[in-house]
């Protein structure tokens, strides 16, 4: 999408994704304004100093606060990128009410404020953990996806449209296992919960590029899934810390052996493009000619990290983590 002369608001804008998104947009586009909506004034202050760009403005607020969102969205917003979330799996398990308030009720607040403030495009970030969830974080993100898809029905004939982007683990982001392994490497021992585990991997830059692209492609209602590589956890350790001892600690509550980006049931209403899958909504308002260029998926298809046809090798991974 061409973001020249657009006013963009990003929730959770001081996080890993937000910081990379903003730098990418400033480098490749000529936005009219980027509004960082987040809770932490210190992170905003540090970011303001590091960017030193008059086009970036900062708005302290919480997605739980509906009134504050209305105030922020009245600034003539063209695009909202919703990246704010509580996403640490153990923290969400221990603080379930807080996860629901931010990830689910926060999504509802954004949808209602965007419709009423006539924001044309809203795209929300989701996760593979939202597919067949086994932990609270995944369950809240599944609900958030459902809210954003059905938000198009609430918008009705108004201009606002909602879509989601769903992808796997982000290399080097806060909460990623890779920085943990890099730190453990110094002590000569790396902890792994289960040696059979596989995960999808994407870089921050790839994630940002995909979100920008899908913002331009969206009709409203899609869940966009990039075709990204998998890697086994043991191969990951061997690439990062080849000389370290591996300690197997046992799978944690709410953790899967393998992740899924498109489930068997979703595949029935998903189409495949060269580098992505588009999960189409099953609602009366969805245009049957949308994504007619996509190819239907075969019966029984599921896009899972252990049956993926694209795998990272050691050199690929080293290239992905070289800047961490």
Alpha carbons 255 and 94: distance in angstroms, whole number: 14
Please, how many CA atoms are within 13 Å of residue 14, restricted to the half-sphere of its CB?
Answer: 20
Rounded to whole angstroms, the maximal C-alpha distance in the chain is 60
Alpha carbons 256 and 301: distance in angstroms, whole number: 19
Main-chain dihedrals φ then ψ at residue 230, nearest 5 degrees: -110, 165
In the chain, the DSSP E strands lie at: 7-11, 33-38, 56-60, 79-82, 121-127, 161-167, 169-171, 189-192, 198-203, 223-226, 230-232, 245-248, 260-262, 270-272, 276-279, 295-296, 303-304
The pair of structure tokens assigned to 194 is: 């289960």
Please, how many CA atoms are within 13 Å of residue 303, restricted to the half-sphere of its CB?
Answer: 29
Instruction: Please confirm, yes or no, whether 6 is among the known catalytic residues.
Output: no
Choose, from 87, 121, 129, 141, the residue flagged as catalytic.
129
| Residues marked as catalytic | 129
């Amino acid at each position: 999408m061409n973001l020249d002369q657009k006013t963009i608001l990003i929730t959770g804008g001081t996080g890993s994704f937000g910081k990379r998104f903003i730098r990418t947009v400033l480098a490749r586009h000529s936005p009219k304004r980027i509004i960082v909506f987040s809770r932490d004034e210190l992170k905003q202050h540090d970011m303001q100093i590091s960017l030193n760009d008059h086009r970036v403005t900062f708005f302290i607020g919480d997605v739980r606060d509906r009134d504050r969102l209305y105030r922020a969205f009245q600034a003539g917003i063209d695009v909202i990128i919703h990246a704010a979330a509580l996403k640490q799996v153990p923290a969400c398990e221990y603080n379930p009410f807080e996860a629901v308030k931010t990830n689910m009720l926060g999504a509802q607040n954004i949808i209602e404020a965007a419709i009423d403030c006539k924001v044309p495009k809203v795209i929300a970030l989701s996760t593979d953990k939202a597919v067949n969830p086994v932990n609270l974080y995944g369950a809240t993100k599944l609900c958030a996806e459902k809210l954003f898809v059905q938000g198009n029905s609430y918008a009705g004939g108004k201009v606002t449209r909602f879509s989601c982007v769903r992808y796997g683990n982000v290399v080097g982001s806060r909460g990623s296992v890779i920085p943990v392994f890099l730190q453990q490497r110094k002590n000569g021992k790396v902890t792994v919960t289960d040696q059979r585990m596989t995960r999808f991997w994407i870089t921050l830059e790839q994630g940002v590029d995909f979100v920008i692209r899908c913002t331009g492609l969206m009709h409203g209602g899609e869940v966009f899934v990039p075709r990204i590589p998998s890697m086994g956890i043991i191969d990951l350790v061997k690439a990062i810390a080849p000389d370290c001892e591996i300690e197997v600690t046992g799978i944690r509550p709410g953790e899967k052996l393998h992740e899924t980006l498109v489930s068997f049931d979703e595949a029935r209403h998903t189409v495949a493009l060269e580098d992505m899958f588009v999960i189409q909504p099953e609602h009366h308002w969805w245009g049957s000619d949308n994504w007619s260029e996509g190819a239907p998926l075969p019966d029984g298809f599921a896009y899972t990290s252990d049956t993926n046809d694209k795998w990272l090798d050691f050199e690929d991974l080293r290239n992905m983590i070289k800047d961490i």
